[in-house]
Amino acid sequence: MIYRLPLFAQVTIIQQMIPYECFLLSSLSKKSKRLVQRSVKKRVKRTMVNLVEKQIQTCEYKEEEEIGIVMWAKCDLRRIMAKNKFHENKWINLEYNGIEMNCRLTFNNLDKLPMVWCDSKHVKLVPLALQKYISELFGISNVTVVKMKFSTSDFSRFPDTTEVDHIAEWSPTKVNVDLLDGFLRRVTVKHSLSILSLLNFNPNSPILSVDHLLLFLADELSRECFLNFRGKTGLFINPRRLTTQDVIDFVKMWLDGTNTKLESMILLLNPFFARQQILEQFETKPWDPKRRDGRFKYPENTPTLYQPNDLLDCTQQVDIEREHDGLLATIVLTEDEFCFFVWHTPFAPPGTVWPATIQSPTSNSVLYPLGTLDFQNVCMVKSN
């Protein structure tokens, strides 16, 4: 037994365990949990509640992808899942928001993961309770990351919370916009929303009020929706319905003071914007190093998108100034890109702005990330 070994040997052994083994060991007793907590601090950087696969997943600091650590299911699924040859192990006590849940803990030989069986009435709480348990175990921020597809069944399985930090939608079919709008009116999105499927929503949609909005397929984005964006950052890919005049009107609205929250707007893969026609509408000036940094600090709490071009380098770009408050904004126009960066903070703290890069997985080229949240198809739920 591990407890017969010296403490140094115990810690060394636990540090070699994979995350689900740490979880299993911690479930044996309070003493075991304290030992694991002592041994694995600062090993895991994030957790994810995967609603699609019904797994709690973790990502270690040296890795980029999440791996499963524990699964969960309702007790009435026991008979259906029996063919996967789960072997009985023990019970585990979980808690969330003062509600205690006594769950059966077994092992799934098919997925090679522990399985927690909960009572049907706790099925929306167990994911958050497990995330809380694992966050405490590995000493990480108590933020739940939820992976889901936007369908009626996924909405019905959404954890029992009314506030989320980040959501990413990825559906193989066109999303029901009314369903999504209704969901966003019930659940507050504190930071970002990524939509990876084609959507055609109206200008009054709560989608346009989320602080950080990423549209992977903005083909149907209308002029009205574009001009009615009420968030801080917009990143829209392939907005083919938008015209040069729409971009001009967007900048004019900012100059008039209509959007006071705006920090960044990026339109990618639209080759139809006329650079000269846009710039000649405004009184532009070259970069003045005394008035702003040469590199724009992209806002935090935004989903990551990797780009072949360093869009945040503003040393060769032109600025415009809003008359009533003296706020500067930089206009970046390339063959198929429009960027609009607002300098609410003209100079970032030293050492906080640099061109981060990664190697492309498919070529020898370098990619530049926009955003700080490198999650795929996920939403993060704030735990209480």
Q: 305 or 111, which is more confident?
A: 305
pLDDT score at 320: 98
Sign of CA dihedral 33, 123, 56, 78: positive
pLDDT score at 79: 53
- The label of the residue with tokens 């990423």 reads 214
Give pLDDT tens digits for 50-65: 777 788 888 777 666 6
pLDDT score at 25: 92
pLDDT score at 84: 52
Q: Indicate if the pLDDT at residue 384 is higher than 50.
A: no
Enumerate the H helices of 16-160 as residue ranges: 19-26, 30-39, 78-81, 126-138, 152-156
- Domain ranges within the chain, ordered by starting residue: 43-144, 148-350+363-381
| 377 — pLDDT class (breaks 50, 70, 90) | very low
Average pLDDT over residues 370-379: 63
Q: Indicate if the pLDDT at residue 77 is higher than 50.
A: no
Give pLDDT tens digits for 127-170: 889 988 998 898 886 555 555 544 545 666 677 777 777 787 76
| 86 — pLDDT class (breaks 50, 70, 90) | very low
Average pLDDT over residues 317-321: 97
Average pLDDT over residues 78-105: 72
Average pLDDT over residues 288-315: 91
Q: Indicate if the pLDDT at residue 246 is higher than 90.
A: yes
To the nearest whole percent, how much of the chain has pLDDT over 90?
Answer: 40
Q: 111 or 337, which is more confident?
A: 337
Please state, in angstroms and as integers, the Cα–Cα distance from residue 262 to each residue in 126, 200, 218, following that order: 38, 22, 19
Least confident of 166-175, 189-198, 217-226: 166-175
For the CA atoms of 36, 42, 43, 49, the dihedral, rounded to the nearest 10 degrees, stands at: 90
Q: Indicate if the pLDDT at residue 380 is higher than 60.
A: no
Q: Indicate if the pLDDT at residue 121 is higher than 70.
A: yes
Pairing of β 67-74 and β 113-118: parallel
Average pLDDT over residues 246-255: 96
Give pLDDT tens digits for 276-286: 999 999 999 99
Q: Indicate if the pLDDT at residue 335 is higher than 80.
A: yes
Least confident of 61-65, 257-261, 288-292, 349-353: 61-65
Strands (E), the chain: 44-50, 55-60, 67-74, 86-96, 99-108, 113-118, 143-147, 163-169, 188-195, 212-215, 233-237, 264-268, 285-286, 305-307, 318-321, 328-333, 337-342, 358-359, 366-370, 378-382
Asked if 75 and 117 count as a contact pair (C-beta separation under 8 A), the reply is yes
pLDDT score at 159: 75
What does the mean pLDDT of the chain come to? 84
